[in-house]
Amino acid sequence: MRKSITSALLAVAATATAAGAVHARVSADDPRSAKANVVTVTATDYAFQAPDTIAAGRTTFHLVNKGPDFHHIWLVKLEQGKTLKDLVEATKTPGPLPKWAVDVGGPNTPMPGGEASATLELEAGNYVLACVIPAMKDGQPHFMKGMVKALTVTPRRGVLQAGTTAAPAADVVMTLDDYDFRVSTPITRATKTIRLRNVAEQTHEAIIVKLNPGTTVEQFLGAMEKPQGPPPGALIGGITGIAKGRTVDIPTSFTAGDYALICFVPDAKDGKPHLAHGMVKQFSVK
């Protein structure tokens, strides 16, 4: 997915400028608290309705998918003062995104009409929100259809920096590596929060799927590759790509059944999705 952004951002740069400034409500709470600001992002086919400017610190992105297609928030931080215009210029040269474009995550896709959330620490700076999922009708990535947006993150009270808040405890810590999902303790119906950490050199994501009864993850992937009706499972969120050292928390509500974790990010060496390297895992919730 990251490779796809590199090849096509130029085509949608003209649609990325919002008409007028919109600001998220900033909490008046002590910025040292663990309470996150909630930013609601509404996804339609094919656009984001989201603030232009939000405050730095612990932030929950709440994705509401009102389109009939799948949508997620792939959040990229542009370091060194870079902007969307700089990213567009950089993508004129084939190859991976520049090092100053850092994957910081966001909520992965729920089913159309569903909702998903993800909480992360945001430093002040320039960001880009994008949806890189291929459209169901023509396979064209959604950002090619205009689903990309610049986001400015400003310091809260001029002093808050990411990492200074005390994040609440998580029920399960999931480590993303090349090419595996490792959990600190089994996921159960009592699991309320999963903290995902990437320790690999490459970007990784985690898509969570609830499989239909009797369905394996291999059958689900086969049905997604050659759709012939509704998929034998439901996408229930997860996180989009995060770079090494990044951490994202997601709320969960598991019922009994079989689930799968999948990473579709293309490999840096051969371009194959990480699931082809074994980054896919099926598990059961009792």
- Please tell me whether residues 93 and 209 are part of one structural domain: no
> What is the share, in percent, of the chain residues with pLDDT greater than 70?
84
pTM, 2 dp = 0.86
- Please tell me whether residues 176 and 267 are part of one structural domain: yes
Q: pLDDT value at position 113?
A: 95
24 located within any domain: no
pLDDT at 38 over 60: yes
Q: Which of 24-38, 125-139, 150-164, 180-194 has the highest mean pLDDT?
A: 180-194
- Please tell me whether residues 78 and 219 are part of one structural domain: no
23 located within any domain: no
- CATH number where 130 lies: 2.60.40.420
Q: pLDDT value at position 166?
A: 67
Instruction: Give how many domains the chain has, as a whole number.
Output: 2
* Average pLDDT of the chain to the nearest whole number: 85
pLDDT at 208 over 60: yes
Structural domain for 46, as ranges: 2-15+35-154
pLDDT at 5 over 60: no
- Please tell me whether residues 191 and 76 are part of one structural domain: no
- Please tell me whether residues 108 and 139 are part of one structural domain: yes
In the 3-class helix/strand/coil scheme, how is the chain assigned residue by residue?
CHHHHHHHHHHHHHHCCCCCCCECCCCCCCCCCCCCEEEEEEEECCEEECCCEEECEEEEEEEEECCCCCCCCEEEEECCCCCHHHHHHHCCCCCCCCCCEEEEECECCECCCCEEEEEEEECCEEEEEECCCECCCCCCEHHHHCCEEEEEEECCCCCCCCCCCCCCCCCEEEEEECCEEEECCCCCCCCCEEEEEECCCCCEEEEEEEECCCCCHHHHHHHHHCCCCCCCEEEEEEEEEECCCCEEEEECCCCCEEEEEECCCECCCCCCEHHHHCCEEEEEEC
166 located within any domain: no
81 located within any domain: yes
- Please tell me whether residues 241 and 127 are part of one structural domain: no
- Please tell me whether residues 127 and 246 are part of one structural domain: no
Per residue in 157-196, pLDDT (tens digit) is 644 444 555 678 999 999 999 999 999 999 999 999 999 9
